[in-house]
Structure 1
């Protein structure tokens, strides 16, 4: 109930309800300043009330959406600087370039949907990951041809889709809290600076598509339970079936790490105590049964069955048992977990300390505080459901945590958005206008920086240059290259060179002892007999290109 009936624009005149008037009379015997919970500060001297000051933040004509406009500009600047600036380079991380090469090959009929192929000599049958992302990228290559714009555009689409879905989750959870609802850009910006999220979106990683499918599944659960009173059991069951299908797509993107959304109904009930426990049990069963049904159907097809078997035996089980890769799990995984969450945590801490020192104390009801605490808890628990399996895995990389970081970042945002919104709302209109102009100028500079980097080689510039020189020598025309080039020494382990040669020129590298190919890439560490080759005198950074002498 509002205690202050009306506030006059001049802060000395306030009309009060009777309980507040009685409180006024009770403080006349004190000198100094007294504060009432309705946001009034009373100046008392010599038993008289000298001034009534309305200290409650004004909720004038400036709405939460208008106040939050600078936050959208900040988010756009972060996207330009952290993602687009690197995405427009020619360089691509090794994994992303391999996936793009496989997708390009598939679009040209090399390999098959269940027997993907990277090259003739390396990953001739690719079993490192499930195939869904390569299938989707192959559609892009079929439509637009063999161009680097396909993989760059695909990863940009996953960025846009992920951001939109995560924003809808945020808005659904804060449907009854306009101030927090308007703070969605803060949650997205927090996610971008966390761990290697922005790096992954610049390099075409599987985690990008994994975030899309898992977030869609979670959004389905949040949407169904947020409107539990309005949904029938039949409509909610349909939503759970769709969410289960999305989890199955996540599994087809990167394996068991995509399973965590099936825990969302239970987490929602633990935090919000709705809907009923039996509804949650049934919904969880429906999601799990849908996932199982998808794979039972796939198992009936020989190609899918063989692909699943290869993935389990070559990649998943050996990785879980530590038989392949460099084992960096357990305590190393725990350290990585804290490291990837460090930036959002530090930013939140700084904002809260500044708010405590210079900010205005918030006037919140108990219900609002409890609601915000529950939402932050829910988001954090969803993040833990995605990251806990990684903490016990013997094989770990920092970007494996990316699907969980958006939820941890959103939990941190719940804590700091109110302070940011109070600071923006408390600023004079002129200050907000100047700040908006400054941010727009920074955004313009960021766009210019992205344009300046467009098409530049990037961090793999030296390798890209070497690959181009090698291709110019071994290709008689752009589409007529030697399909195999021999390697010896360090070049035999230069996976980045291998990937760029295959992605751009469809050249496979093969060991020198295979005695194939008319050319040899070599360095001083090569111990093989290369007397049958002569140096082409091609200027390469780390290697020499040699040509086989005619017999």
Structure 2
């Protein structure tokens, strides 16, 4: 009997991790193998590829000679800081211009994110090892968030920024968990935390500042008597950030880029002159609405867990330590989200830096009952995780056998047969502001677009503007989704070639 119990206990240790990894792969694996990526991720990969090829530079990133938005049309792309472009360009230099680059980069981001969530969970629960071993739970809660499993395979800057923010919080947490509070011996932790905030800001801007609040939040939640240490840690983190960022600004190309970025992106967003999530007061609360939409499954799981526990007459209450962890993570997540509400330029993936802490919050709410259930109903838990793992792989195989087809990626590949790489082609005026056209054509064939079609040999068109061409002289190549490539005067050239 003891041998059987120990076997089940081993299964309970490893099966949840197998299930969690299998759950992640349901969406991550198919999305890494198809040609579908959100236009932002395609644009960022294009910039990184260009940087690797020497087109543009770290402080003068270059997307194309055209851009779909009425802003960011300068000689270089100043819409976001360049750190992710620089990091990704290293992979392009190693691997060449392959679509695999951004997918491998996304995999690296995923692995590092999981690793840091696990490290923070174990550090938070280091006084209660029986809870620390449930590190798979916050990872599962994290990837079960819609915005996470949509965004991670899409090459968003927010995913990379989230890593640096997590690292900063982890270093500060490590200082407090060391219990010495001796900054002469442990000053390296707040210094590293400050450097990570610089890296976060160089990835996606001021949103990366929220870890500055971590130490003060920790003191408020855990122990007011260490307030002095909390203030000192915050001062060192802030001082390190200011010193390192100041050194960056002393470099003239960095200063020019960051000044242009701040004036063109941050200031204009605050003045409501860029993209908008909505109008009026409610436009400021778009992210709050998105957060609630993201955690509906977690609230349902929590309710279900309470019903299951009640049916087995399992009565557990949240311990004082777990309650503190819930408070800490909720406040840290809030410190990341609340400053963004100042602007009405908001998108769901802006939540990414806060979502690891949202996940840890829910995992902490779950962990007491999950622990009790696995202890009392070990065989049932083993069977449940095994069945769930098989279901995950069933869904994954089905999705792999039915990979999503992307028409614009197919169009870009078809155009390769006619147009030389890195050319500028015409595009009908009514299509110019379609971001997918710009990003797919640039990413797959380095093409720029112009609405000055009169001098263009090739024009990307749809049925609405096809009538503006002379179809007796121009050749029309049908593309997918009712698009066309018009080759100007090609019929006349073909006719001439036949008679000569």
Fold match, TM over 0.5?
yes
- Which residue of structure 1 aligns with residue 105 of structure 2? 154
The alignment status of 1:112 with 2:61, answered yes or no, reads: no
Q: Confirm or deny: 8 A CA contact 2:27 2:396 kept in the other structure.
A: no
| Equivalent position of 1:474 in the other structure | 419
- Structure 1 distance, partners of 2:204, 2:427, is 32
Per-residue deviation at 1:332? 3.1
- The residue number in structure 1 matching 2:375 is 425
3-state SS in 2 of match to 1:546: strand
Could you give the per-residue CA deviations for residues 160-205 of structure 1, whole angstroms, max 9, x where no partner exists? 0011001100001111223321222111111112241111111111
For 2:76, what is the secondary structure of its paired residue? coil
**Given the alignment of the two structures, is residue 377 of structure 1 paired with residue 299 of structure 2, yes or no?**
no
1:415 aligns with 2:365: yes
Q: 1:537 to 1:322 in 2, by over 3 A?
A: same
Pick from 413, 427, 445 the counterpart of residue 394 of structure 2.
445
- Match in the other structure for 2:240: 290
For structure 1, the residue ranges without an aligned partner over 5 or more in a row are 1-8, 10-59, 476-480
* Kept in 2: contact 1:247–1:258 (CA 8 A): yes
TM-score (normalizing by structure 2): 0.89
Q: CA deviation at 1:337?
A: 3.0
Distance 1:182 1:488, change over 3 A: same
Alignment-derived partner of residue 239 in structure 1: 189
Verify the 8 A CA contact 2:15 2:386 in the aligned structure 1. no
User: Which of 223, 230, 249 pairs up with 1:280?
Assistant: 230
Structure 1 residue 274, shift from structure 2 partner:
6.2
Q: Is the 8 A contact 1:489 1:522 kept in 2?
A: no
User: Is contact 2:19-2:386 (8 Å) kept?
Assistant: no
C-alpha distance after superposition, 1:79-100 (max 9, x if no partner):
1113222222121110000000
1:340 aligns to 2:291 (yes or no): no
Between 173-182 and 140-149, report the one with greater CA deviation: 173-182
Q: 1:94 to 1:222 in 2, by over 3 A?
A: same
Cα RMSD, aligned residues only: 2.5
Is the counterpart of residue 486 in structure 1 residue 426 in structure 2? yes
CA spacing shift, 1:105–1:361, aligned 2, 3 Å:
same
Q: Does 1:168 align with 2:119?
A: yes
Between stretches 311-320 and 272-281, larger displacement belongs to 272-281
Contact 2:145 2:295 in 1 (8 A): yes
Q: Shift in Å at residue 121 of structure 1?
A: 2.4
Which one has a larger percent helix, Structure 1 or Structure 2? 2
Deviations 1:222-254 (A, max 9, x none): 11101123x632232211000000010000000
Tell me whether 1:185 sits opposite 2:136 in the alignment.
Answer: yes
SS of 1:196's equivalent? Answer: helix
Name the CA distance, whole Å, in 2 between partners of 1:64 and 1:369: 24
Aligned equivalent of 2:459: 520
* Equivalent of residue 339 in structure 2, options 384, 389, 392: 389
Residue among 186, 194, 198 paired with 1:248: 198
- Among 126, 132, 137, the residue aligned to 2:83: 132
Tell me the SS of whatever aligns to 2:245: helix
Question: Which residue does 2:70 correspond to in 1?
Answer: none
Aligned match of 2:15: 70
**SS of aligned partner of 1:472:** coil
Q: 2:343 & 2:9 partners in 1: Cα distance? A: 43
Match of 2:328, SS?
Answer: helix
Counterpart in 2 of 1:93? 38
Number of residue pairs aligned between Structure 1 and Structure 2? 477
User: What SS does the aligned partner of 1:537 have?
Assistant: strand
Taking the aligned partners of 1:438 and 1:274, their CA distance within structure 2 comes to 47
Normalised TM-score (structure 1): 0.81
More moved, 532-541 vs 392-401: 532-541
CA drift of 1:435 comes to: 3.9
C-alpha distance 292-433 of structure 1, shift in aligned 2 (>3 A):
closer
Out of 163, 173, 177, the residue aligned to residue 212 of structure 1 is 163
Matching of residues 218-229 of structure 1 within 5 Å: 218-229=169-180
User: Residues 370-400 of structure 1, C-alpha deviation per residue, up to 9 Å, x if partnerless?
Assistant: 1111111111111111111122321111111
Deviation, structure 1 residue 63: 9.3
Cα offset, 1:469, TM superposition = 1.9
Rg: which structure is higher?
Answer: 1
State the match for 1:353 in structure 2. Answer: 307
Change (3 A) 1:333 1:76: closer
Structure 2, unaligned runs of 5 or more = 68-72, 494-500
What is the CA–CA distance in structure 2 between the aligned matches of 1:236 and 1:275, rounded to whole Å? Answer: 19
Provide the secondary structure at the position in 1 that maps to 2:425.
Answer: strand
| SS state at 2:326 partner | helix
- Alpha-carbon distance in 2 for matches of 1:336, 1:326: 15
CA contact (8 A) 2:15 2:382 kept: no
Q: Helix, strand or coil: the match of 2:478?
A: coil
8 Å CA contact 2:287, 2:351 repeated in 1: no
Distance 1:69 1:371 in 2: 25
- Single out whichever of 280-289 and 179-188 deviates more from structure 2: 179-188
Displacement of 1:438 in angstroms is 2.8
Relative CO higher for 1 or 2, CA cutoff 8 Å, sep ≥ 6? 2
